[in-house]
């Protein structure tokens, strides 16, 4: 009799658990809608990827921008964690690269030139004397071809773009493919790949500005950051790396232990002053033989949201939105003020084409560029 009761009770618990989990676990979906028109009249689409937990990533074909990313807080409430705009027009006039795919070369190339195979290439200079994020019309301003593709885990969107030989001064026709996958474990995975028909340089990244408490919720100085780096690449006044790898020990760049972003952001430190805060490339401590390693972890004490950044890249640019000055009015008219978001741009080091000791960014015909970065979300109590 006791045994019968046990079976009946266990059965009932099992049934109700199954019912609860199937109610929460809806199948994922991808929806396409119009986001407006690019300045040349091309249609721009917005793809909204939703996973089985209701987590949502909206991606625009203009710049391959992550327009919104809705993830749960510690109470399970979904909220947007990236800055951006409500329509394509905001992205057309944007100069801060909100959410965009960055290429052909992420971050700066000094004096807008480099030599390859004995030939000097002159690039568009769009940041004083230097080239920033690909030049005047980087990949962030291109309209990408989009296709929904099957994913083993979650929802996937493939974006492709042909950067023509000579675009912004870079050699070679570069076929670029970026796949965004929103997994069912609440991660946004980005796979970048590229091939060329001439020797060239490539450094692709994504320029999402995160505020884990939501755009418009104040600054990010209270967020607690860990970066898996023992060294960083110090810069000159133009934010071009000097070529050295400096130890972070005893400096405001030491994030080996979880530390509030704002704890040392105004320190009396030459590098902090040059960046106007953090705007530096960290040299990631890679685990030997690991295909992908954790680069950084950010905890937002207000909402309990946690972001982990994993990458195959050797560096990450930690940028604290020092140039945001409130002039950009984003989603719902919110003005994006200084340090109201942070970026963790996984990358090869800035100015590598002019720094022979940095890991190489060269790509040759027959080779395939391939890097992966994962932005993984969870919560803490
Ligand atoms: C990168 C750069 C910064 C700034 C932003 C865009 O993070 O390192 O200096 O140019 O992009 O505003």
State which ligand 1 atom lies nearest to the alpha carbon of 96: 12
Give yes or no for residue 168 CB within 6 A of ligand 1: no
Mean pLDDT rounded to a whole number for the chain: 94
Q: What pTM did the predictor assign?
A: 0.93
Q: Mean of the pLDDT values across residues 54-75?
A: 98
Task: Answer with the residue of higher pLDDT: 16 or 87.
Answer: 87
Instruction: Tell me what pLDDT residue 263 has.
Output: 98
Residue minimizing CA distance to atom 3 of ligand 1: 279
**DSSP run (H or E) holding 146:** strand 145-149
Q: Does residue 162 surpass a pLDDT of 70?
A: yes
Q: Mean of the pLDDT values across residues 185-204?
A: 98
Residue minimizing CA distance to atom 5 of ligand 1: 96
207 is catalytic: yes
Lowest-confidence pick of 15-24, 80-89, 248-257: 15-24
Q: How far is ligand 1, taken at its centre, from the CA of residue 41, in Å?
A: 28
Instruction: Tell me what pLDDT residue 148 has.
Output: 98
Q: How far is ligand 1, taken at its centre, from the CA of residue 233, in Å?
A: 15
Q: Does residue 6 surpass a pLDDT of 90?
A: no
Which residue of 65, 98, 105, 107 sits with most ligand 1 atoms within 8 Å of its CB, as the best mutation to test the pocket? 107
Residue among 218, 224, 220, 192 at smallest CA distance from 206: 192
Q: What is the pLDDT of residues 175-185, one digit of tens each?
A: 999 999 999 99
Provide, rounded to the nearest whole percent, the portion of the chain with pLDDT above 70. 93
Q: Does residue 15 surpass a pLDDT of 70?
A: no
Q: Does residue 21 surpass a pLDDT of 80?
A: no
Give yes or no for residue 239 CB within 6 A of ligand 1: yes
Residue among 374, 215, 376, 239 at smallest CA distance from 317: 239
Residue minimizing CA distance to atom 12 of ligand 1: 96
State the Cα–Cα distance between residues 304 and 50, nearest whole angstrom.
22
Instruction: Tell me what pLDDT residue 286 has.
Output: 80
Give yes or no for residue 131 CB within 6 A of ligand 1: no
State the Cα–Cα distance between residues 320 and 221, nearest whole angstrom.
9
Close Cβ partners of 93 (under 8 Å, ≥ 6 residues apart): none
State which ligand 1 atom lies nearest to the alpha carbon of 132: 10
Instruction: Tell me what pLDDT residue 25 has.
Output: 63
SS3 339: coil
Task: Answer with the residue of higher pLDDT: 286 or 234.
Answer: 234
Give yes or no for residue 317 CB within 6 A of ligand 1: yes
345 is catalytic: yes
Instruction: Tell me what pLDDT residue 16 has.
Output: 45
Instruction: Tell me what pLDDT residue 24 has.
Output: 54
Q: What is the pLDDT of residues 108-133, one digit of tens each?
A: 999 999 999 999 999 999 999 999 99
Instruction: Tell me what pLDDT residue 14 has.
Output: 46
Extended beta strands in 28-124, E state: 29-37, 43-50, 56-60, 66-72, 78-80, 101-102, 108-109, 113-116, 119-122
Q: Does residue 8 surpass a pLDDT of 80?
A: no
Q: Mean of the pLDDT values across residues 237-242?
A: 98
Q: Mean of the pLDDT values across residues 205-234?
A: 98
Catalytic residue, chosen from 133, 207, 280, 348, is: 207
State which ligand 1 atom lies nearest to the alpha carbon of 133: 11
Give yes or no for residue 361 CB within 6 A of ligand 1: no
Specify the DSSP class assigned to residue 356: T
pLDDT band at 13 (very low <50, low <70, confident <90, very high): very low
Q: How far is ligand 1, taken at its centre, from the CA of residue 183, in Å?
A: 28
Q: What are the helix (H) ranges across the chain?
A: 2-24, 88-93, 270-275
Q: What is the pLDDT of residues 76-100, one digit of tens each?
A: 999 999 999 999 999 999 999 999 9
Q: How far is ligand 1, taken at its centre, from the CA of residue 107, in Å?
A: 7
Q: What is the pLDDT of residues 144-161, one digit of tens each?
A: 999 999 999 999 999 999
Q: Does residue 338 surpass a pLDDT of 60?
A: yes
State which ligand 1 atom lies nearest to the alpha carbon of 345: 7
Specify the DSSP class assigned to residue 26: P
Instruction: Tell me what pLDDT residue 285 has.
Output: 95
Q: Mean of the pLDDT values across residues 207-212?
A: 98
Q: How far is ligand 1, taken at its centre, from the CA of residue 335, in Å?
A: 18
Which residue of 83, 127, 132 sits with most ligand 1 atoms within 8 Å of its CB, as the best mutation to test the pocket? 132
Q: How far is ligand 1, taken at its centre, from the CA of residue 74, in Å?
A: 31
Q: Mean of the pLDDT values across residues 243-264?
A: 98
Give yes or no for residue 157 CB within 6 A of ligand 1: no
Instruction: Tell me what pLDDT residue 287 has.
Output: 74
């Amino acid at each position: 009799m006791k045994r019968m009761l046990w079976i009946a009770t266990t059965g009932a618990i099992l049934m109700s658990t199954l019912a609860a989990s199937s109610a929460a676990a809806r199948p994922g979906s991808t929806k396409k809608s119009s986001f407006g028109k690019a300045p040349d009249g091309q249609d721009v689409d917005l793809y909204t990827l939703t996973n089985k937990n209701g987590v949502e990533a909206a991606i625009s074909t203009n710049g391959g921008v992550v327009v919104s990313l809705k993830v749960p807080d510690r109470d399970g409430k979904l909220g947007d964690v990236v800055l951006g705009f409500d329509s394509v027009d905001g992205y057309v006039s944007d100069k801060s690269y909100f959410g965009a795919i960055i290429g052909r070369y992420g971050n700066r190339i000094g004096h807008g030139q480099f030599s390859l195979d004995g030939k000097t290439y002159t690039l568009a200079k769009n940041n004083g004397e230097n080239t920033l994020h690909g030049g005047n019309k980087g990949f962030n301003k291109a309209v990408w071809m989009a296709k929904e593709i099957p994913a083993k885990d979650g929802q996937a969107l493939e974006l492709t773009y042909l950067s023509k030989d000579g675009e912004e001064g870079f050699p070679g026709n570069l076929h670029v493919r970026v796949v965004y996958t929103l997994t069912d474990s609440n991660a946004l995975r980005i796979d970048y790949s590229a091939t060329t028909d001439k020797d060239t340089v490539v450094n692709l990244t994504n320029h999402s500005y995160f505020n884990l408490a939501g755009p418009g919720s104040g600054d990010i100085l209270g967020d607690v950051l860990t970066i898996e780096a023992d060294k960083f690449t110090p810069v000159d006044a133009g934010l071009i790396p000097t070529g050295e790898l400096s130890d972070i020990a005893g400096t405001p760049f030491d994030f080996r232990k979880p530390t509030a972003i704002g704890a040392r952001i105004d320190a009396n430190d030459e590098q902090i002053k040059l960046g106007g805060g953090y705007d530096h490339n960290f040299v990631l401590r890679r685990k030997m033989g690991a295909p992908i390693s954790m680069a950084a972890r950010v905890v937002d004490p207000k909402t309990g949201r946690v972001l982990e950044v994993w990458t195959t890249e050797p560096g990450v640019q930690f940028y604290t939105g020092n140039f945001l000055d409130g002039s950009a009015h984003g989603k719902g008219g919110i003005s994006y003020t200084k340090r109201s978001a942070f970026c963790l741009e996984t990358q090869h080091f800035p100015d590598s084409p002019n720094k022979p000791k940095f890991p190489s960014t060269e790509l040759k015909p027959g080779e395939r560029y391939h890097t992966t970065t994962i932005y993984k979300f969870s919560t803490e109590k």
